[in-house]
Amino acid sequence: MKHLTQIALIFAFLTFVPICSQEIAILKYNGGGDWYGNPTALPNLIRYCNENIDTKIKEKPQTIEVGNSTIYQYPFIHMTGHGNVVFSQEEAENLRTYLMSGGFLHIDDNYGMEPYLRKELIKVFPDKEFVEVGVDHPIFSKKYKFPEGLPKIHEHDGKRPQALGIFNDNRLVLLFTFESDLGDGWEDATIHNDPKEIRDKALQMGANIISYAFEN
């Protein structure tokens, strides 16, 4: 009965607060990982999108906890970090419902979170696995063209960058960018001293992700 009540509340909430606003959020999670990393990244990406792809996103991203019911207000949620990630079963179910109801989660590995993340995502999607997003997917051409797929921003282990996704009914609902570190490329130029062309690639790819999340 308690479970049915929770489902009823979720759908009632979705009825009154559809995922359509131009406001985005940072995902706060447990486990000790630095969910708050790259503090200038999302504000810079928001500014870039508002100036270049005609979005009207609120300038300051919100912070939302995985298990919070207000997660449904945001069409796009960003997650990053270097270390451990832990979802409770209730948090995993809330995140799954959000994604299956039209939400979008972008997880950007800031270097080191990948093994922890994979373990916790099994709780969210026990019946699904990551697949590599093909270069022909619209996320690589939504506003800016990336014919070779995800750009390489930082070296990390020197491996090729990978865009890994989870799909529901052919819609990409979760994008995991690995061995790329887009978020570092979104940060203020003085933080990592990346050249302008590298930062431009990161911001353009970020704009494509935002555009896809808003339109699909």
Position 14 pLDDT exceeds 80: no
For β-strands 131-132 and 162-168, DSSP reports them as antiparallel
Position 12 pLDDT exceeds 70: no
Span of 180-184, 204-208, 209-213 with lowest mean pLDDT: 180-184
- Taking the mean position of all CA atoms in its chain, how far away is CA 33? 16
**Whether this model's pTM surpasses 0.85:** yes
Q: How many residues does the chain have?
A: 216
Please, how many CA atoms are within 13 Å of residue 74, restricted to the half-sphere of its CB? 25
Position 5 pLDDT exceeds 50: no
Identify the sign of the CA torsion 126, 132, 136, 142: positive
C-alpha to C-alpha distance for 207 and 46, rounded to whole angstroms: 8
Position 60 pLDDT exceeds 50: yes
Position 213 pLDDT exceeds 50: yes
Across the range 38-67, mean pLDDT stands at 96
Q: What is the dihedral of CA 38, 192, 33, 74, to 10 degrees?
A: 30
Q: Which fold has domain 19-215?
A: Rossmann fold (3.40.50)
pLDDT in tens, 109-163: 988 899 999 999 999 999 999 999 999 999 999 999 999 999 999 776 778 999 9
- Taking the mean position of all CA atoms in its chain, how far away is CA 173? 9
Adjacent-strand bridge partners of 167: 172
Q: What share of the chain is helix, strand, coil (3-state, %, to 5)?
A: 40, 20, 40
Q: Are 74 and 62 in contact (CB under 8 A)?
A: yes
Position 16 pLDDT exceeds 90: no
Q: Are 104 and 75 in contact (CB under 8 A)?
A: yes
Position 87 pLDDT exceeds 90: yes
